[in-house]
A and B are shown apart, each in its own frame.
Chain A
Amino acid sequence: MGRYVIRRLLQMIPVFFGTTLLIFFMVNVLGDPIAGLCGERRCDPATAARLASEFGLDKPAWQQYLTYLGNIFTGDFGTAFNGDKVIDLMGEAFPVTIKLTVVAIVFEIVIGISLGVVTGLRRGRPIDTGVLILTLVVIAVPTFVTGLLLQLLLGVEWGIIKPSVSPEAPIDELIVPGLVLASVSLAYVTRLTRTSIAENARADYVRTAVAKGLPRRRVIVRHLLRNSLIPVVTFIGTDVGALMGGAIVTERIFNIHGVGYQLYQGILRQSSQTVVGFVTVLVLVFLAANLIVDLLYAVLDPRIRYA
């Protein structure tokens, strides 16, 4: 187990270098960021040259990349064009997005798995068909439609929530945005759980458990659900990274100053320091989430061992 974890951690190193390299060069080919900084008029050449050398943009790209990597290891993610340290931007943005992601994941787990269990056990009944149709609708409707609709109805028409989230983003203000962010994944979790439960419900060990006279609740939770969760856990694990990175739409609609917002600004202003820094951290989050998922398999199914 220990060796397995170490091997996985070592595997992350090339992935880390590869992704940062790719992102760095992709942002770099987008054009000259200094030109955008001066607005509709041209920067005067002397100032532009000085700015370029201050941000290291006058050096060849590979040299910029090496300097950048060197700085990262000392915890210096560079400076965004508006003078803010990228590490400070991260300090503000990540807690907010993590909160939003946690809210979304909790919705996925609680609602998604419960609905999945209920429908899986009642296959073909009206409730199953109803939920299936509902998930189909949720998957088919784009997130920004759901988001804007909920914002308009709950925020403006009925006044139940505030349409925009304040800068500190308290949990209660994040419930609706979290639900919107979770909606599509939630539908997938429901469907995955349902299929998995339905399959395992006819398995021998479930029949045995029922024959032993175990209470129905214990049969479902301890035997049926635990064995059915492996695909669901895999999905949720990979979804952590996807949710954090993909929150741009939701964050824009609900005015959440999180990772998505900073990335969006960074791309618009071609601030490679911001974009590369944030994406690097997102990649690490993604890798860590995957590792945790793999380790969880053993908890769910003791037959799975790691060498």
Chain B
Amino acid sequence: MRGATRARWAVGAVAVALTATACGGGDSGGGGGGGGADGIVSSSWGDPQNPLEPANTNEVQGGKVLDMVFRGLVRYDSKTGQAKNEIAEKIDSSDSQNFTITIKDNWTFSNGEKVTAQSFVDAWNYGAALKNNQKNAYFFQYIDGYDKVHPESGSASVDKLSGLKVVNPTTFTVKLSQKFSLWPDTLGYAAFVPLPKAFYSDHDAWLSKPIGNGPYTIESYSKGSSMNLRRWDDYPGTDKAQNGGIDLKVYTDNNTAYTDLTAGNLDLVDDVPASQLKNVQADLGDRYINTPAGLIQTLSFPFYEKAWDTPGAVKVRQGLSMAINRDQITDQIFQKTRTPASDWTSPVLGEEGGFKEGLCGPSCDYDKAGAKKLIEEGGGIPGGQLKISYNADTGSHKEWVDAVCNSINNALGNNKACVGDPIGTFADFRSQVSTQKLTGAWRAGWQMDYPLIQNFLQPLYYTNAPSNDGKWSNDEFDGLVNKANAETDKAKAVSTFQDAEKILAEQMPVIPLWYQNGSAGYSDSVENVALNVFSVPVYNEIKVK
């Protein structure tokens, strides 16, 4: 009861602060504490699906909070996606397999505890251990000893990764189980952040109010409805918050969030609903952001089904890819919030990072006649009809799946060649995909974990990789990926990955459809709003007018 009263009081205070912000535009630094550097930004939010633990958060809503509350060894530049040392002083390796990590010694958690090498090692051991049920445990799979603390089945024999050793308070060493030259670049992912002792000693209290080392601290968190984050004034990093704090509000529907934005009750919406895309220019003008994100959408095929794993089926898949009019669909259905894909990565990687426009070649260009010819040469669609499965509950997939089917049917001159196959819920859809129950194609999407070309290829197409749901397998591809990982020179590693990607173009195990953009809109009381390469707003740089 007391808790409730306090929460109400806090929200009341926030409401007052918000009102002050709203009318703070006129008086410059009038001492109200509402606008300017102390202004509070309100932003839309969704209920996180999992408890807020760094190694247990695999979706964007929880990730948003971790991004504000935590900093790791490495941080990705919000514009270029390049990995830059943050807490790490240096990460050295002579053989791409044994790494020595030295950290800066001025970092602390917001409760005053020092960030040491031990804070990292303990956190990683916790994240990897099977007994803690962390959904992102596989991020630690390259560290030596992972198969002992997290075996495929059965129970763990030890609970610490043998590859991690603390040398002194600011140094620790990591031994990987295989060569992986780009491994330091993966360390910007939230699963690799350090954790304070309070996390282990009083886990429940920590979960109800996480303590981190980032630019914000959590002032109050009422599960399922809101979280108030405030700037941490003693934050040791260079990217201090430019505002007084962020109030995240959970919305039942992103349409309501958008309505609240247009009515002036909300400062930032980081997911403009598809139904509003037509009005967004008129409503927001240049306060609408539509920038590429590290997200690609594809059509996957079941290679565990004999009919799809034949030489002829390669031609069929290439033909199907040619039959899809990507330009028209991204224009008309997505209002240009997607970009037609012509490789298997994402433009956010940049040329240097491995993105190569047109790598897919003519297979990804719309060509009605060519498509029909190829599919006929390949022996036609296995089973005579292509079924594209999708989940009907969220994401409005029906529209584009129907459009893709129309496009294919048009090319083949047969209006039964392709049909959509809706599955009720996301959970059911995923369970059918991951247990190999589907016999036709299905929609797939991949959001990168870290801006590396490796992340767009290995987890998805390597033999038996965790997200290789279609069970595609190609020795040449696997060999090139291994070779790329062992490469000590980054540029060489990237180009070897691109060689592997060319095999995808020849074999077409999945059809690339389009790159997804992040979209956001903001009110005229804030400025300097941008989305990072993960399409999460760069909260700490938002300024309140």
Give the interface of A toward B (CB within 8 A).
Answer: 30-47, 49-51, 54, 81-84, 88-89, 92, 151-152, 155-156, 159, 162-164, 166-168, 251-257, 261-262, 264-265, 267-270
Q: Are B138 and A44 closer than 8 Å at their CB atoms?
A: yes
Tell whether, in the assembled complex, residue A256 and residue B252 are in contact, meaning their CB atoms are under 8 Å apart: yes
Interface centre among B152, B207, B431 (most CB of A within 10 A): B431
Q: How far is the CB of B196 from chain A (nearest CB, A)?
A: 19
A162 and B224 form a contact (CB under 8 A): no
Chain B residues whose C-beta falls within 8 Å of the C-beta of A267 in the assembled complex: 425
Q: Is the CB of B207 within 8 A of A253?
A: no
B466 touches A270 (CB 8 A): no
Q: Is the CB of A46 within 8 A of B130?
A: yes
Contact status A47-B133, CB under 8 Å: yes
Q: Beyond A54-B133, A82-B48, A168-B8, is A254–B430 a contact (Cβ under 8 Å)?
A: no
Q: Residue on B with the closest CB to A166? A: B11
Residue numbers in B under 8 Å from A30 (CB-CB): 424-425, 427-428
3 closest pairs, A vs B, by CB?
A: A36-B427, A31-B428, A35-B431
Interface size class of B (residues with CB under 8 A): 35 or more
CB-CB under 8 A from B432, the residues of chain A are 31
B58 (CB) vs chain A CBs: closest residue? A39
Q: Are A35 and B260 in contact (CB under 8 A)?
A: no
Cβ distance B141 to chain A, nearest Cβ, rounded Å:
9
Of the A-B pairs whose beta carbons lie under 8 Å apart in the complex, a sample of 26, sorted by A's number, is: A31-B427, A31-B428, A35-B428, A40-B445, A40-B467, A41-B466, A47-B130, A49-B153, A50-B131, A82-B50, A82-B51, A83-B51, A84-B223, A151-B259, A159-B263, A162-B263, A164-B260, A167-B222, A167-B225, A252-B252, A252-B256, A253-B255, A255-B257, A257-B250, A269-B49, A270-B425
- B303 sits at the interface (CB 8 A): no
Is the beta-carbon distance between B260 and A82 smaller than 8 angstroms? no
Contacts of B425 in A (CB 8 A): 30-31, 36, 267-268, 270
In Å, the complex CA distance between A187 and B217 comes to 50
The residues in B between 444 and 459 inclusive whose CB is less than 8 angstroms from any CB of A are: 444-447, 459
Chain B residue at minimal CB-CB distance from A39: B58
Q: Is residue B413 within 8 Å, beta carbon to beta carbon, of the partner chain?
A: no
Say yes or no for B226: interface residue by CB 8 A criterion. yes
A81 vs B135: C-alpha distance when bound (angstroms): 12
Whether A41 lies near B467 (C-beta < 8 A) is yes
A92, B223: Cα distance in complex, Å: 10
Q: Give Cα A83 to B150, complex, Å.
A: 22
Q: Do B394 and A268 touch across chains, with their CB atoms under 8 A apart?
A: yes
- Nearest residue (CB) in A for B251 is A255
CB pair A164 B49 closer than 8 Å: no
- With A155-B263, A156-B262 known as contacts, the answer to whether A40 contacts B446 (CB < 8 A) is yes
Once the chains bind, are B253 and A255 in contact (CB under 8 Å)? yes
Instruction: Please judge, given known A-B contacts A81-B49, A269-B49, whether A168 and B11 are in contact too, CB under 8 Å.
Output: yes
Tell me, in angstroms, the Cα distance from A34 to B427 when the chains sit together: 7
Which among B263, B393, B435, B446 is the interface contact of A156 at CB below 8 angstroms?
B263
Residue ID in chain B nearest A32 by CB atoms: B431
Using a CB-CB cutoff of 8 Å, which residues 35-51 of chain B contact chain A?
47-51
Distance in angstroms between the alpha carbons of A33 and B428 in the assembled complex = 7
A26, B472: Cα distance in complex, Å? 35
**Residues in B neighbouring A151, C-beta threshold 8 A:** 256, 259
Q: A36-B426, A162-B260, A168-B8 are in contact. List 6 more A-B contacts (CB 8 A).
A: A35-B430, A38-B58, A39-B58, A152-B259, A156-B263, A163-B259
Chain B, 255-274, contact with A by CB distance < 8 Å: what is the 0/1 string? Answer: 11101101101000000000
CB-based nearest B residue for A157 = B263
Interface pair A45/B152, CB less than 8 Å apart: yes
